[in-house]
Amino acid sequence: MAISIGDKIPNVQLKALINGDVKEISTQELLKDGKTVIFAVPGAFTATCSNDHLPGYVKQLDAIKSKGVNQVICLAVNDIAVLKAWAESNNATAITFLADGNAELTKLMGLDIDLSAVGMGVRSKRYTMMIERGSVAKLQIEDSPGVCQVSSAQSLLQLL
């Protein structure tokens, strides 16, 4: 069952790219203060993620933060080296990238999807989530990994 509004985010240790630097950090530490937006993608450098999802957040980052959001995080079931290259190639280093390489957090939240049929293995569903002081305040999950509608930056701005 997927995580829902009001639930606490599970505490796991992950690697994050924060202001261009790679750090090991717990989700509890990363999400403890203020409002955080997490948008999750099935995979860095994939078509919908690279053409629609990430660019929307890069373009709308200032508008999102102007709504009282402290940080914007992109979560993917990729390793941190891939996420660092993806962030740099998209001029997106103002966004924090969270590498859930083994899908540990993703599985604990019930937001995993098996994309083995297309050679990608277990990945994250595409979603956007607002977290306030470690708990889910808003959650929009896409019905299909190839679609970026309810999880887009524009849809998020309408929720804020």
Residue range 78-116, pLDDT digits in tens: 999 999 999 999 999 999 999 999 999 999 999 999 888
* d(C-alpha 127, C-alpha 129), whole Å: 7
Q: How far is CA 52 from the centre of its chain?
A: 14
Domain assignment of residue 7, yes or no: no
Number of domains into which the chain is organized: 1
> pTM score, two decimals?
0.93
d(Cα 160, Cα 156) in Å, to the nearest integer? 6
Domain assignment of residue 19, yes or no: yes
pLDDT at residue number 146: 80
Q: Is residue 116 part of a domain?
A: yes
| Predicted local confidence at residue 11, as pLDDT | 96
Residues forming the active site: 49
What digits encode the pLDDT tens for the residues 39-69? 999 989 988 888 888 999 999 999 999 999 9
Per-residue pLDDT band for 133 (boundaries 50, 70, 90) equals confident
- Asked, for residue 133, whether it belongs to a domain, the answer is yes
The answer to the question of residue 4 being in a domain is no
Residue 128 within any structural domain of the chain: yes
Question: 1 and 136 in contact (C-beta within 8 Å)?
Answer: no
Residue 5 lies in a domain: no
Q: With respect to residue 6, please indicate whether it lies within any of the assigned structural domains.
A: no
